[in-house]
Chain A
């Protein structure tokens, strides 16, 4: 079963707007990661947020983590057409850090 679930499944916005994607997970975690995948390519690691962190920034990306609600959000500010991609959250599941499990992803489309 999936450990993380992203919401919404698809998001379409205009260039310059902000995009917010949410991720919920089921079990306790040590960290949560966000990835981007351009069509048919490998995944690009965006950011890792630890369970003792509430917010983390990287350029135009802002990630928040709420361990009490078992949820995280990824905000992309001032979006660009090049941000068009699928975005996934991932957490480690199981003992000894376990295996890395992904949600189903949010497909973001940024229109110029």
Chain B
């Protein structure tokens, strides 16, 4: 069974540009979570999608947005990139709300 996959692995963008990060959950998982992990720091909750709906978002500005597709894959968009957005972005999925969540390997976003 394939795990959670994220693409791309690395992404380099210029300040002011937009970044799109993708996540494919484990087959059968309907919940997808996005996190930001700046260097040396913990995981900051970004967004939670379940059954195609945004259920909750963390304390991030509106330029962080996303969506979940009918096949439960998800996309995270970051507009008007700032240098501080440089971080590891992690995606996780779970089969039922409130159960084990499994992570992908992350997308390393570098803003220059």
A47 to B102, CA, bound (A): 11
Interface Cβ pair total, 8 Å cutoff: 63
Given contacts A88-B43, A96-B97, A99-B56, contact A42 B33 (CB under 8 A): no
Given contacts A42-B90, A96-B55, contact A102 B33 (CB under 8 A): no
A43 to B45, CA, bound (A): 14
Q: Are A31 and B101 in contact (CB under 8 A)?
A: no
Query: What are the residues of chain A within 8 A of B88 when measuring CB–CB?
Result: 40
Query: What are the residues of chain B within 8 A of A92 when measuring CB–CB?
Result: 97-98
Chain A, Cβ-Cβ closest to B98: A97
Query: What are the residues of chain A within 8 A of B92 when measuring CB–CB?
Result: 43, 100
Query: What are the residues of chain B within 8 A of A88 when measuring CB–CB?
Result: 42-43
Given contacts A48-B100, A92-B98, contact A99 B42 (CB under 8 A): no
Interface residue ranges, B against A (CB under 8 Å):
4, 33, 35, 41-43, 45, 48, 55-56, 58, 88, 90, 92, 94, 97-106, 108
Interface residue ranges, A against B (CB under 8 Å):
2, 30-31, 33, 35, 40-45, 48, 88, 90, 92, 94, 96-105
Provide a sorted-by-A list of 19 A–B residue pairs whose CB atoms are within 8 angstroms: A30-B98, A33-B101, A40-B108, A42-B90, A44-B103, A45-B102, A88-B42, A88-B43, A92-B97, A92-B98, A99-B56, A100-B33, A100-B48, A100-B92, A102-B35, A102-B42, A104-B41, A104-B42, A105-B42
